[in-house]
Amino acid sequence: MLYIIGLGLGDEQDITLKGLEAVKKCHKVYMEAYTSLLSFGLSTNGISNLEKLYGKPIILADREMVEEKADEILAQAHHDHVAFLVVGDPFGATTHTDLVVRAKKMGIDVKIVHNASVMNAIGICGLQLYRYGETVSIPFFTETWRPDSFYEKIQRNRLMGLHTLCLLDIRVKEPTLESLCRGKKAYEPPRYMTINTAIEQLLEIVQDREESAYTEDTECVGLARLGSEDQMIVAGTMKQLQLIDFGAPLHCLVIAGNTHPVEEEMLDFYRCRT
């Protein structure tokens, strides 16, 4: 059996009872470590906290392992129970859907244990979940690559009066350009996009457009470390949020659409007063 188990968003205690029971049955336990991270994922003892609670050693599965050695993980699940731990919910990233498809094609039984993810926890800011449009991902700009394909999605959401959840880039164990040229593996330091950088890039995209889908005065909500004890939520214009230090990752941003009076009441609790 291959168990794909959601860990939730906060710390090691956010796993469900069903998920914990499944982990304790497993011979091998892998933890996906590139599409997201738990609130303690940057600390030196984060994994040991998991291992202490679960009573199992944990193998960190980076992008390289999952993309290049998934068959090895799946082969083990032919003979033993194997757990693949995912921050948030198992289907918060397409990579995990691909793993399920591959397992099923190999005749491996798969069991999913769901948990909270950013896609539903975002409701804490007060903007109602059924009033969101398509979610977008915002990648880091580089000197030679400044993608803006997500702009049209934001524009469509705004035209329909819908809110837009923006997931911000995470770059973990990314090979350096030099290492790719030389064929020798070396990696960039981990980087996590901030709300400030996301807004800077979003405003750059609309500079030369005749009819902008948003401006620096557009109402937004910035959220940091969602689901953790020290989560931070601030509502304000893009211009206001750019001036705020949201602290450690992970960050995400909501561009508000048309708001209902009840949504406005909730946003007032988080409103930036500067």
Residues of the binding site for S-adenosyl-L-methionine: 9, 89, 92, 117-118, 168, 226, 251
b/e code 211-247 from CB counts within 10 Å (16+ = b): ebbbeeebbbbbbbbbbbeebbbbbbbbebbbebebe
Instruction: Quickly tell me which residue has 């990648």 as its tokens.
Output: 139
d(CA 8, CA 20): 12
d(CA 270, CA 193): 22
User: Pick from 252, 222, 226: which is nearest to 236 by CA?
Assistant: 222
User: Pick from 164, 156, 167: which is nearest to 87 by CA?
Assistant: 167
d(CA 128, CA 86): 25
Question: In sequence order, which residues have a C-beta less than 8 Å from that of residue 194 and are 6 or more positions away?
Answer: 168, 246, 249, 251
Q: Which residues are annotated as a binding site?
A: 9, 89, 92, 117-118, 168, 226, 251
The kind and range of the H/E element at 118 are helix 118-121
